[in-house]
Chains A and B, each alone.
Chain A
């Protein structure tokens, strides 16, 4: 296959951030042909990480770590496809999810009438089961991680887990239990995971560092959210690049992250989340003021206003829908695609 994009050299780190208005995925070259994928979203037709690796002629088998920061729909779509394609990859997941309640939530999602947004997790466990084949479970995962876990270490690269904090794991039981169905409740789909349970990573390469933050948000609890990360202060160098947490929302902003974990005026990359209009204009202004350069992975779509008439609703809901009155209802333009890609060395 002819590669359409040059893959990084063995001594180069590369961090590529994808997000097309819904969904987030970070693809990291850890040096020497080893790759890490953090979260997953769908590209043109399948997991964007696989499409990107293919673009460079890199076999999916070179993915060594697949990290799921949390189980929001927009961070996990296509993860099982990546895991199936990467037989040497270790699936890494927040230890905050290792609860009886989360297991029940996945089981509830098997109800053919509903689903809980945990289908992709169930599929990931299915891949593990097929991979197990008599091996000790610990050798196939998942690898449940929390603050302080060292995920990867070579002469060049090091990946450390900064969150979830121990206090977050204690709270996770209640957080997830609140999503479980109760007797008499109508069946429905649980569409959101829990951002405070998110994994945060420090990726270090030849003395430079990047901070990958998932959707971790600020918290009033001094031991959870960004407070928990700062309280622990797992020893990691200040980062020159940050994947901004939770699509740049003000609820994920914490001065301590900027002051303590990042170099002054770092590079900032934000994935857009159009359903909530994130990042907002004021979010973007705040990020530009704090960062040396602030990138978005796609043009923010903002929120769409509701409309009352049927025809106006059609036009508002799918603005790309072309020639509604001329018979081309099924013709829908694809969204624009863009991403941020930067090399540390």
Chain B
């Protein structure tokens, strides 16, 4: 493995999606980029929605012929759904209340 980015889907088109990329090595500034939906596996395709998080790996692999080639892969994170208890917690008193008080 040579390089890895964490991506967030920001918009979706017919056959592609646009994403914000954060270089997990911290070496490079944030990037925005377009990816083809064809580069997403069938298992992950339903997960490609605005706000979805994925990891993009770029590296090298040795082909059967012995030659070295570039390789990249995209894996989407599988996140749990919001539940009743999670949403109720957002309505509980918090340390932000004092800043949002209205007189």
Contact = CB atoms under 8 A, between A and B. Distances in A.
Contact of B84 (A183, A188, A190, A330): A183
Contacts of A313: 35-36, 39, 72
A285 interface: no
Contacts of B80: 113, 186-187
A329 B56 CA distance: 13
Greatest chain B CB density within 10 A among A102, A180, A307 is at A307
A61 B1 CA distance: 44
A295 B30 CA distance: 24
Contact of B3 (A188, A304, A305, A330): A330
Interface in B21-40: 21, 23, 25, 27-39
Interface size class of A (residues with CB under 8 A): 35 or more
Nearest to B52: A188
A55 B13 CA distance: 42
A307 B86 CA distance: 39
Interface of B: 2-3, 8, 10, 13, 15-16, 18, 20-21, 23, 25, 27-39, 47, 49-53, 58-60, 70-72, 79-84, 86-87, 89-91, 94-100, 102
Could you say which of A108, A274, A327, A329 has the most chain B C-beta atoms within 10 Å of its C-beta? A329
B97 A103 contact: yes
A324 B82 contact: no
13 contacts: A107-B89, A114-B51, A128-B99, A142-B99, A184-B82, A188-B50, A274-B32, A303-B34, A313-B36, A314-B72, A325-B70, A329-B70, A334-B29
Given A142-B99, A188-B51, A330-B25, A308 B87 contact: no
Contacts of B39: 308, 310, 313
A310 B82 contact: no
Interface string A161-188: 0000000000000000000111111111
A317 B15 contact: no
SS class, residues of chain B in contact with chain A: mixed
B81 A329 contact: no
Contact of A330 (B2, B8, B13, B18): B2
Contacts of A73: 20
Interface of A: 20, 22, 42, 73, 98-100, 102-104, 106-108, 111, 113-114, 125, 128-129, 137, 142, 180-192, 274-275, 303-308, 310-311, 313-314, 316-318, 324-325, 327, 329-330, 332, 334-335
A192 B70 CA distance: 34
Contact of B79 (A100, A102, A187, A308): A187
A304 to B, nearest CB: 5
Given A125-B99, A310-B70, A317 B35 contact: yes
Contact of A306 (B35, B49, B72): B35
B100 A189 contact: no
B15 A306 contact: yes
B56 to A, nearest CB: 8
Nearest to B98: A137
A130 B58 CA distance: 41
Contact of B10 (A42, A99, A275, A332): A275
